[in-house]
């Protein structure tokens, strides 16, 4: 396919997918939090956009596990791995945390979310990426609210050196049963949450109680299941134990889930309902790259934007917050609001490219690995589809 990056040691379609997922989150937040439209009928689509954003975050967790397992080298060490992940996520986090905290202090109002301004405790827990462990919206939505998912990722990274060993040791014949087991646990978690938490109080702004929402969506051990599913899927692809599937079929299944969303319990709209189609799509795209077929997501433009997707994910909320404050929460006619939404989205993408190039890239270049050392790529195991060489870092 013309314009596709050369086949080799990368899975470019998965890098391009990262931008698509970050773009879904951005679009959902511009619609539901920016609230530029004076026509309130526009917000009838808000339930679909919230579900799409939740599906994108779930897919990030799957993708993170898949790519880290794909890259995993027996020659690597836990300390080296943790160092790379710290250098990958923390500089952007510190920059956007500082920016958002400064904006909150300057404006004195939480203009986008129904939460109080963070106190010192909430701010510090957010900075240290432990805030997703606290079942209080003032914590898990504090400062830069999207970082709750990075708090989950930090937990996954901590466990990864322990998890990858048993995944790598799994006999090929057990890969599909383990995938089915983990996928079943993902789908079961909303039922568990419904059994152990109370429903929302009458008249609440949310259809879910804070405790139930936190347990389903924010609690790191629950979201770990999607990460583990990504790990095992990657191993199945490496050992040629996953069927070749055209991406259109998972996408059709995903469309079916969205079409049926009004019939699903609210608890399933926060990732569980869309996890299985996305868990089928990610290997399908990877196999196309392996076989040299590629996809539109593997073209240079989506790949470049995918490389900056973590910066986009981290910076878009502070920018949207400041724009909302500057506009004094005004609303506009449909055409003006639509153009404003597109302009705000483009502005967020442009700033994310600057953040990626100015902070993330130089930090990774200079500090991700000890000077004078390199980690050899993993050799393919017998029967491997391809060797898991170097692949773009999987943070959002």
pLDDT tens-place string over residues 156-215? 999 999 999 999 999 999 999 999 999 999 999 999 999 998 887 766 667 889 999 999
Nearest to 346 by CA among 2, 30, 11, 128: 30
For residues 390 and 9, the answer to whether their CB atoms sit within 8 Å is yes
Where residue 372 falls among pLDDT bands split at 50, 70, 90?
Answer: low
For residues 271 and 226, the answer to whether their CB atoms sit within 8 Å is yes
pLDDT per residue over 306-347, tens digit each?
Answer: 999 999 999 999 999 999 988 988 999 999 999 999 999 999
- What six digits make up the tokens of 376? 């050899």
DSSP state of 37: B
Domain spans of the chain?
12-367
Taking residue 320's Cβ as centre, other Cβ atoms within 10 Å add up to 21
Q: Which residues pair with 332 in a beta bridge?
A: 37
For residues 63 and 14, the answer to whether their CB atoms sit within 8 Å is yes
| pLDDT of the residue at 329 | 86
Its sign, for the CA torsion 55, 61, 62, 63, is positive
Label residue 382 exposed, middle or buried (CB < 10 Å: 0-12, 13-18, 19+): exposed
- What six digits make up the tokens of 94? 């510190």
Nearest to 99 by CA among 58, 157, 146: 146
- What six digits make up the tokens of 50? 């919230």
Considering the entire predicted model, what is its pTM? Answer: 0.90
């Amino acid at each position: 396919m013309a314009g596709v990056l050369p086949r080799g040691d990368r899975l470019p379609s998965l890098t391009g997918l990262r931008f698509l997922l970050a773009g879904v989150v951005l679009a959902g937040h511009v619609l539901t939090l920016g609230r530029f439209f004076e026509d309130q009928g526009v917000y009838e689509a808000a339930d679909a956009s919230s579900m799409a954003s939740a599906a994108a975050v779930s897919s990030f967790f799957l993708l993170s596990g898949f790519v880290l397992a794909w890259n995993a080298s027996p020659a690597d060490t836990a300390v080296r791995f943790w160092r790379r992940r710290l250098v990958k996520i923390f500089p952007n986090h510190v920059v956007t945390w500082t920016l958002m905290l400064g904006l909150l202090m300057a404006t004195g109002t939480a203009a986008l979310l129904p939460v109080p301004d963070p106190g010192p405790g909430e701010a510090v827990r957010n900075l240290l990426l432990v805030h997703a462990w606290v079942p209080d919206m003032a914590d898990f939505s504090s400062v830069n609210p999207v970082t709750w998912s990075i708090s989950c990722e930090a937990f996954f990274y901590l466990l990864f050196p322990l998890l990858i060993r048993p995944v790598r040791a799994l006999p090929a014949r057990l890969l599909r049963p383990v995938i089915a087991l983990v996928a079943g646990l993902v789908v079961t978690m909303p039922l568990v949450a419904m059994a152990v938490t109370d429903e929302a109080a009458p008249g609440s702004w949310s259809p879910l109680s804070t405790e139930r929402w936190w347990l389903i969506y924010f609690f790191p051990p629950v979201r770990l299941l999607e990460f583990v599913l990504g790990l095992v899927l990657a191993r199945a692809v490496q050992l040629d134990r996953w069927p070749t599937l055209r991406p259109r079929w998972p996408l059709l299944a995903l469309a079916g889930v969205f079409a049926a969303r009004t019939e699903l319990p609210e608890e399933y709209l926060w990732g569980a309902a869309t996890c299985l189609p996305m868990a089928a799509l990610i290997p399908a795209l990877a196999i196309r790259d392996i076989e040299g077929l590629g996809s539109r997501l593997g073209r240079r433009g989506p790949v470049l934007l995918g490389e900056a997707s973590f910066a986009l994910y981290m910076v878009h909320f502070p920018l949207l917050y400041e724009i909302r404050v500057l506009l004094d929460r005004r609303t506009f006619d449909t055409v003006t609001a639509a153009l404003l939404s597109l302009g705000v989205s483009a502005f967020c993408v442009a700033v994310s490219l600057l953040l990626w190039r100015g902070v993330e890239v130089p930090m990774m270049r200079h500090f991700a690995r000890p000077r004078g050392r390199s980690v050899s790529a993993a050799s393919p195991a017998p029967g491997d589809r391809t060797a898991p060489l170097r692949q773009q870092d999987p943070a959002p």
